[in-house]
Structure 1
Amino acid sequence: MEHDYLSEIRDKYDKEIMELLIKRMEAVAELTRRESKGEDNTAYPDAETDYMDEFSYLSNVLNSLDSKCRHMNLPETAGMYDENARLEKSLVKKACYQGLPFSYSESAAKALFGHAELMNKTTFEDVFKAVHEGAADVGIVPFENSTAGYINDVYDLILKYDLFINYTYVKKVDHCLAGIPGAEEEDIKEVHSHPQALAQCRKYIRNSGYTEVAEINTAVAAQKIAEMNIKEAACICSEEAALHYGLKILRHQINQQKLNYTRFAAVSKKKAVEEDHNRISFVFNVSHTTGSLSKVLSIIAYYGCNLYYINSRPNLKNPWEYMFYLDFEGNLAHKQVKCLLSQLWEEVPFMKVLGSFNV
């Protein structure tokens, strides 16, 4: 009975809000007519106003506010996040990265887990497989560059192998052009490197007239140039990799943005929550209805969470459908964030938290 009474009160208030909306819109319409009168005193056309769209919009707003109020007053959401989950760095015994020794990824792996046994893998997918199958505790992969943007393949693999981002490391990246001993810059015809490195140095490459050749890693490119042993081919890599593979540095710092940084992520099977985490990444899809994406973004705005990044990627399971990847400010242990994600969980067909980390 009490529930029915409260529902009646809510409906009564809704009716009053709608009546006030009509009065307010009529006042705005009258103001518009008066302000738009010309010198000839011709009034603004007094056409009948259809309020259906406005009612629909207001109804959606009220429903969203109701949902927020409900989630904020429910008991703590259970089961979505294990607040006791921790990926203690000291307990990580094996960490793997993509590429060869002296790659940027190896440098990031050492910075994050210098005490652990490091394993190198050929491809990003090999890294994710190793973690998924338990051959490694964590995998270290690049996922964002300040010049070339996000590395979409990594986000696809996080979803495919059901892993989570837990730690990040930012490395300043300075690329050099390296060739075999005896080669000069004017000898070079083609340049080998990872697609991200090529993108970060594209201005220099185009101005020099080089042909780009994609490799799976900058250190792999350095090794290949050493093995090819021809003056016409060079690579883009770190100076450490060039020296390690016996190459000659032909030009230093060829990336167009001198403040060039890459953010690396440590991915694992655990969804860890740490006190200093201040960014959350998740993926979702929406129904094919008008305003469905806007509604998700509105919910995030209602909770006052700052949006950092949003991108769409093809849904690999369903052609011509898309997944949305989004990063926002927050910590998974905070009640407001729990309520936000709980509400989104009810609104979208699919959602997965990819992890949280400190920026």
Structure 2
Amino acid sequence: MTHRIAFQGEPGAYSHEACRDARPDMEALPCATFEEVIDAVKNGDAQLAMLPVENTTYGRVADIHRLLPKSGLHIIDEAFVRVHINLLAVPGTKLEEVKEAHSHLVLLPQCATFLKQHGIRGRVSPDNARAAREVSEVGDKSSAALASELAGEIYGLDVLARHVEDFDNNTTRFLIMAPEAQTDRRDKGHGMITSFVFQVRNIPAALYKAMGGFATNGVNMTKLESYMVDGRFTATQFYAEVEGHPDDPSLKLALEELDYFTNYLSVLGVYPAAKTRHYE
């Protein structure tokens, strides 16, 4: 049986690179949308899902926090991908021949300095990997793509310039999700992360009181984000991540106190912190 990990995008996307790096023994399955990625796992076409949640340059990935609680999947790992942007062109092209560079709207501004220096116009494409594919198909030396080296390998393009992004800290964080939770693991080297969502009760200072349990029990909360539920301004849900395992005495007490002040609490995953978490 072929084991697959599903991702959103075309072959050569940075999500594809995340799959290859984190699960090199699995076949990467491209999907058109995040919903299709989740469905691929739920219907058995793939065993795992690779979903981006945030990027150091443009922040939270839209829609992901809304999809995670309803997905029926569980977070089992996290992965970080350094987003290196490369100028790709058909074989034999010289840099001075390139007049246009196609890529996703988010990537183009990140290469503004390089494009200006070389007099190259940026052109928006729905996807950076798609841009690479279309450059390969058209075969025009005046058109290039800004994408990953993996995209260049897949579509047979030359790398005219590597790492042309303006800043050297552009990193995307991904969550690897599976049908079943894996809560029995322990990682003493880098520690564990617990992700959960909750809604506070409609009482004064409910959020303040709910967070108090983490402070008094010495639990480090690394993330707390709010977002609307079902498009209503009065219904707010929170996504949180803390260091530790729910079976740890301190975190167990903190979650019990949180539960008292919430009307909804769901643990999305318990997983080892990635080795690169503190270096990205």
Which TM class, normalised by the smaller chain length? Answer: 0.7 to 0.9
Q: Does 1:192 align with 2:103?
A: yes
For residues 224-235 of structure 1, what are the structure 2 equivalents within 5 Å? 224-230=134-140, 233-235=143-145
Higher RCO (CA-CA < 8 Å; seq separation 6+): 2
In the other structure, the counterpart of 1:257 is: 167
In the other structure, the counterpart of 2:34 is: 124
Deviations 1:232-285 (A, max 9, x none): 654321123124323343432122222333332211122222201521211222
Highest Rg: 1 or 2?
1
In 2: Cα distance, 1:306 partner to 1:193 partner: 36
Matching residue's letter, 1:307? M
Q: How far is 1:290 from its partner?
A: 4.1
For residues 123-272 of structure 1, what are the structure 2 equivalents within 5 Å? 123-180=33-90, 182=93, 184=95, 187-189=98-100, 191-193=102-104, 195=106, 197-198=107-108, 200-201=110-111, 210-211=121-122, 213-216=124-127, 218-230=128-140, 233-272=143-182
Given that 2:99 and 2:121 are in contact with CA atoms closer than 8 Å, whether structure 1 keeps it comes out as: yes
Call closer, same or farther: CA 1:296–1:147 in 2, change over 3 Å: same
Q: Does 1:291 align with 2:202?
A: no
In 2: Cα distance, 1:309 partner to 1:185 partner: 45
Matching residue's letter, 2:244? G
TM-score (norm 2): 0.79
In 2: Cα distance, 1:202 partner to 1:292 partner: 45
Of 226, 242, 246, which aligns to 1:328?
Answer: 242
Q: How far is 1:154 from its partner?
A: 2.5
Call closer, same or farther: CA 1:112–1:301 in 2, change over 3 Å: same
Secondary structure (helix, strand or coil) at the match of 2:269 reads strand
Matching residue's letter, 1:322? T
In the other structure, the counterpart of 1:343 is: 257
Q: Unaligned stretches of 5+ in structure 2?
A: 274-280
Higher strand share: 2
Q: Unaligned stretches of 5+ in structure 1?
A: 1-90
Aligned-residue CA RMSD (Å) = 3.1
Q: How many residues are aligned here? A: 267
Q: How far is 1:214 from its partner?
A: 4.7
Q: Does 1:109 align with 2:23?
A: no
In 2: Cα distance, 1:327 partner to 1:185 partner: 48
Given that 2:89 and 2:135 are in contact with CA atoms closer than 8 Å, whether structure 1 keeps it comes out as: yes
Call closer, same or farther: CA 1:209–1:307 in 2, change over 3 Å: farther
Identical pairs, percent: 27
Higher helix share: 1
Matching residue's letter, 2:178? S
TM-score (norm 1): 0.64
Q: Does 1:353 align with 2:271?
A: no
In 2: Cα distance, 1:307 partner to 1:201 partner: 34
